[in-house]
Structure 1
Amino acid sequence: MLIYRIKQFYWALNSKINVQDKQFLKMYLSEEEINIFSKLAVDEQKHSIRTAKAVENIYLQHNINKKYMLIKAALLHDIGKIDSELNYIYKALIVLLDKCSRRKIKQFMNIKVVDCYYNHGEKGYFILKKHGYDERFLYLVKNHHNNDIIGDKELDILKYCDDHS
């Protein structure tokens, strides 16, 4: 896990949105959704694109046709981070402190970046709800870090791809 976290940090430092990424976004997001997506930090945008491409690959491997909604959810799953200063430095520190303190850092939810780290799924739910998304879509965004929910195939795919992208 440590090596993966180092890799994530490296990816964040070197994140750039390229032409292929922009084409991918246009395949799945409307102009309004691209405007919302663009409010994310570039490293979060790139992570979301990697997550969505991983979802797409799983669907292609299993020849599943109903991929559109889950790919869109993967692209927008971290949208709850748009209103915070949660950058890759803060995120790295919170991950380390979370691990070292055995999740006791959670008691500092009054600090905006800690609150965003733990609650960005729910924050994303409320942001996207204002834009008229259906409850299933909102459920996926809200619960993409909820490990108490198991057996929901789409949510499990989203969580797996998020954790490995």
Structure 2
Amino acid sequence: MSKRVKQLVSALSARITQQDREFVASHLTAGQAALFWQMNLPDQRHALNVAYTASALGSGDCTIDQELLLQCALLHDVGKVRGDVSTFDKVLTVILDKVAAGWARGWARPGRGGKVANLRHALYIYYQHAARGAVMLQAIGAAPAMIRIVERHHQAPAVDDEPELVILRLADSRH
């Protein structure tokens, strides 16, 4: 089964346990948690899976700020807000990105409305959620390192990337 099919099945069957809720509460401030809980259930489940994987990948490495890593993993997709994009539009967005990424990126526009506007908005969120999330984190006074990592998590690797960003990208690519 392809990675994207697994992601769709995971999204459709997403659940949050009491243990997951406690994990979020133990690693995020009230403002950060409010952003986390604004995401839709599949994105919350994805963020938790990324956080658990990042924790395992970063454990034992004294150069890693474990708390920063976990917070960034939990918040890396906060630019995707519940109700912004339907599941159907999300599926179409992934397909359009695979078959016509350049066109899709140029066609993307914010603003919901009819079916076409909603699809354009879904593409906008798909391509801009990292920058959007960084703005949301800045608005609640998050640490500059967290804002930078969330903003850059879909950018190409650079020599000055924080080790937490490197691990976040690796963990995100596995989910």
TM norm structure 2: 0.85
C-alpha separation in 2, matches of 1:15 and 1:83? 14
TM alignment of 1:111-122, pairs within 5 A: 111-122=120-131
Instruction: State the distance in 1 between where 2:86 and 2:171 align.
Output: 21
User: What's 2:3 paired with?
Assistant: 4
Residue 64 of structure 1 deviates from its aligned partner by: 5.8
Matched pairs, number: 164
Could you tell me how far apart the structure 1 residues matched to 2:101 and 2:39 are? Answer: 28
Shift of 1:39: 0.7
Q: What is the SS of the residue equivalent to 1:82?
A: coil
Specify the code of the residue in structure 2 equivalent to 1:155. Answer: L
Instruction: Note the C-alpha offset of 1:50.
Output: 0.5
Contact 2:31 2:140 (8 Å CA) reproduced: no
Instruction: Single out whichever of 74-83 and 36-45 deviates more from structure 2.
Output: 74-83
1:89 deviation in Å?
2.6
Tell me whether 131-140 or 99-108 shows the greater mean CA deviation. 99-108
Q: Identify the range of structure 1 (8-17 vs 65-74) with the bigger mean alpha-carbon deviation.
A: 65-74
**Structure 2 residues without counterparts, runs of 5 or longer:** 110-119
Cα distance in 2 for partners of 1:68, 1:41 equals 23
CA contact (8 A) 1:86 1:117 kept: no
TM-score (norm 1): 0.90
Using the alignment, how far apart are the partners of 1:154 and 1:43 within structure 2? 23
Distance of 1:164 and 1:151 partners within structure 2: 23
Which consecutive residues of structure 1, in runs of 5 or more, have no partner in the other structure? none
d(CA) in 2 for partners of 1:65 and 1:151?
15
Which segments of structure 1 move beyond 6 Å, counting only runs of 4 or more? Answer: none
Using the TM superposition, name which of 63-72 and 45-54 deviates more: 63-72
Partners of 1:136 and 1:65 lie apart in 2 by 13
Q: Deviations over 1:47-70 (max 9, x none)?
A: 000011111111225466620011
Task: Give the root-mean-square deviation of aligned CA atoms.
Answer: 1.9
Counterpart residue type for residue 10 of structure 1: V
Question: Residues 55 and 144 of structure 1: is their aligned pair in 2 closer, same or farther, counting only changes over 3 Å?
Answer: same
The answer to whether the aligner puts 1:70 opposite 2:69 as a matched pair is yes
- Partner letter of residue 40 of structure 2? A
Aligned residue number for residue 172 of structure 2 = 162
Distance 1:83 1:50, change over 3 A: closer
Residue of structure 2 aligned with 1:146, choices 152, 155, 160: 155
| Letter aligned with residue 93 of structure 1 | L
